[in-house]
Amino acid sequence: MTDLVRCFVDGKPRETARRFADVNPALGRAVKDVCEAAAEDVDAAVQAAKRAMKGPWRRRSAVERAALLERVADGIDARRDEFLRAEIEDTGKPVGLASVVDIPRGAANFRAFAAQLRTMGEETYTTATDDGRGALNLVVHEPLGVVGVICPWNLPLLLMTWKVAPALAAGNAVVVKPSEETPQTATLLGEVMKSAGVDDGVYNVVHGFGVGSAGQLLVQHPDVAAITFTGESKTGAAIMKDAAPTLKRLSSELGGKNAAIVFADADLDAAVAGCLRSTFLNTGQICLCTERIYVQRSVYAAFVERLAEGAKRRVLGDPQATSTTMGPLISETHAKKVLGYYDRAQATGATVVTGGTAAAAPPGFDGGYWVEPTIWTGVGDGHALVQEEIFGPCTVVLPFDDEDEAVARANDSDYGLCCAVWTQDLSRAHRVSRAVDAGLVWVNTWYLRDLRTPFGGKKRSGVGREGGRWSFDFYAEPKNICIKL
């Protein structure tokens, strides 16, 4: 990719008048200029998508769409190194993570929804009528039209394709608004779409910010039928408000303050390893990351000690080095927010078991946004560290005595995205996972995904579900056709 990241409209790159900087967070300096979409650019993207919905794309069969999605997946695989370089430059995440999670999952999203499309059927109902001939009721699924896809910066390609793939599978055209922090892979995907033979105008990208910029313009656009959004809960609320006048369909995957519950009967090695991964993967910047760990009192001290040992073994370093296990935070603003919590923890008497400050930058990465992996104990359940989403490499560990108490405290949250339960007692696993108020519960694992399952949060963690057939429920409009026989 050149030093200018362009929008992608109607099957080609689009330059715009205004520019903003794309900062590499490992270095803390701008590495690219990005074309910011103004109202006319957003409108051009929406109109291109509208035209595509009336053109050949509209007439493509499900089998043809599935084949195109598979070609897109192959295209991502073929350009894996370019996607990796772009994603690492935008996010600072270690190559060991991006090469195993982000980029392969970008391709897997297209394959998974293509497979779903190939195997889906339609429902029919035979209906009795007074004349005895009956009627046949068909349920067919039609695309919504133009879908706006608004994405965060933490898993840019993964989370964007998680929505683009089913939206296209269902026959829609999309206008994607990537995060202003991570614009590159969305534009690169435009090139892949073009080479794969996806019709012009089906996949469009507009770069920019939220309020007063491309994000809000897309949400307010009268010709956009639906918005699928991933990001902060408060942004989700603002989008709902802006989408209301044009009555758009909305799917919102929002913030979390996810608990892990570690019972004394758990395999402690597995629980410690699992909680280290769920706390520190992607520098804690995954909506599913654990930020509060409830540990049964008899194993609490041992667990905290071992978790701290593991945290100290995180290797901050060159994102391109395979030895690096933790990257920087995404931006200076975000680092200030996270370090604000680190300071607040100290000021309010939390025990800092390890970390608690900005980290020394690895050699050659002085300007980057590096913070220490951090573990706290000694705070009450109402503390901000227990209640507010921090989105950094940090967790608070709290002791509990019995199962009911653990569940009640895990549920004492405005959020309800996911929970990880660590136990070897099968009955308890079933009981607790049903009692936990979250959209997703993992037992003895974390972030193990099957893309056919429903994904989404309860309470302030989201509205609606995506994944498997639930994605098709969102991205397609069921229509009833009643044929009198």
| Residues engaged in binding ligand NAD (CB under 6 A) | 150-154, 159, 177, 179-180, 209-211, 215-216, 219, 230-232, 235, 238-239, 253-256, 287, 389, 391, 417, 457, 461-462
162 contacts which partner out of ligand NAD, ligand 6OD, none, CB within 5 to 8 A by kind?
Answer: ligand 6OD
The rounded distance, in Å, linking the Cα atoms of 294 and 279 is: 13
One-letter-per-residue 3-state SS of 382-395: CCHHHHCCCCCCEE
Neighbours of 341 (CB within 10 A): 21
82 contacts which partner out of ligand 6OD, ligand NAD, none, CB within 5 to 8 A by kind?
Answer: none
Sheet of strand 18-24, all strands in order from the earlier edge strand to the far edge: 4-5, 29-36, 18-24
Element (H, E) at 147: strand 146-150
Q: How far is the CB of 168 from ligand 6OD (least distance, A)?
A: 16
Residues 6+ apart with CB under 8 A from 464: 250, 251, 252, 456, 470, 474
Answer for the pair 147, 221: CB distance below 8 angstroms, yes or no: no
112 binds ligand 6OD (CB under 6 A): no
Q: How far is the CB of 262 from ligand 6OD (least distance, A)?
A: 22
418 binds ligand 6OD (CB under 6 A): no
Does the active-site annotation cover 332?
no
Alpha helices in 313-465 (DSSP H): 332-347, 384-387, 403-410, 426-435
| Nearer CB in complex with ligand 6OD: 369/455 | 455
Q: How far is the CB of 63 from ligand NAD (least distance, A)?
A: 30
455 binds ligand 6OD (CB under 6 A): yes
Chain position whose Cβ is nearest to ligand NAD: 210
Catalytic-labelled residue, pool 253, 372, 389, 466: 253
251 binds ligand 6OD (CB under 6 A): no
Q: If DSSP codes are grouped into helix, strand and coil, which group holds residue 36?
A: strand
Q: How far is the CB of 333 from ligand NAD (least distance, A)?
A: 9
442 binds ligand 6OD (CB under 6 A): no
Distance of CA 447 to the CA centre of its chain: 12
Q: If DSSP codes are grouped into helix, strand and coil, which group holds residue 192?
A: helix
Burial class (CB in 10 A: 0-12, 13-18, 19+), 363: exposed
Which range in 151-159, 192-200, 206-214, 262-270 contacts ligand 6OD by CB under 6 A?
151-159
Task: Select from 80, 194, 449, 458 the one that contacts ligand 6OD (CB under 6 A).
Answer: 449
Q: Which residues pair with 139 in a beta bridge?
A: 480
The rounded distance, in Å, linking the Cα atoms of 39 and 41 is: 5
Element (H, E) at 302: helix 297-312
| Nearer CB in complex with ligand NAD: 45/266 | 45
Alpha helices in 19-79 (DSSP H): 39-54, 56-59, 62-78
284 contacts which partner out of ligand NAD, ligand 6OD, none, CB within 5 to 8 A by kind?
Answer: none
**Directed axis angle between helix 426-435 and helix 403-410, to 10°?**
30
281 binds ligand 6OD (CB under 6 A): no
Q: How far is the CB of 152 from ligand 6OD (least distance, A)?
A: 7
The rounded distance, in Å, linking the Cα atoms of 383 and 349 is: 11
What single string gives the DSSP state of each residue in 80-141? Answer: HHHHHHHHHHHH---HHHIIIIIHHHHHHHHHHHHHHHHH----EEEE--TTS--EEEEEEE
Report 153-212 residues binding ligand 6OD (CB under 6 A): 154-155, 159, 162
Task: Select from 288, 353, 390, 443 the one that contacts ligand 6OD (CB under 6 A).
Answer: 288
Catalytic-labelled residue, pool 7, 287, 394, 419: 287
| Nearer CB in complex with ligand NAD: 236/317 | 236
Task: Select from 48, 173, 193, 286 the one that contacts ligand 6OD (CB under 6 A).
Answer: 286
97 binds ligand 6OD (CB under 6 A): no
Which range in 50-58, 269-277, 282-290, 334-342 contacts ligand 6OD by CB under 6 A?
282-290
| Nearer CB in complex with ligand NAD: 205/308 | 205
* Residue with token string 């192959």: 74
Does the active-site annotation cover 253?
yes
368 contacts which partner out of ligand NAD, ligand 6OD, none, CB within 5 to 8 A by kind?
Answer: none
**Directed axis angle between helix 103-119 and helix 156-169, to 10°?**
20
Which range in 64-72, 77-85, 261-269, 281-289 contacts ligand 6OD by CB under 6 A?
281-289
Note the residues at the interface with ligand 6OD (CB under 6 A): 154-155, 159, 162, 286-288, 449, 455
Residues with a catalytic annotation lie at 253, 287
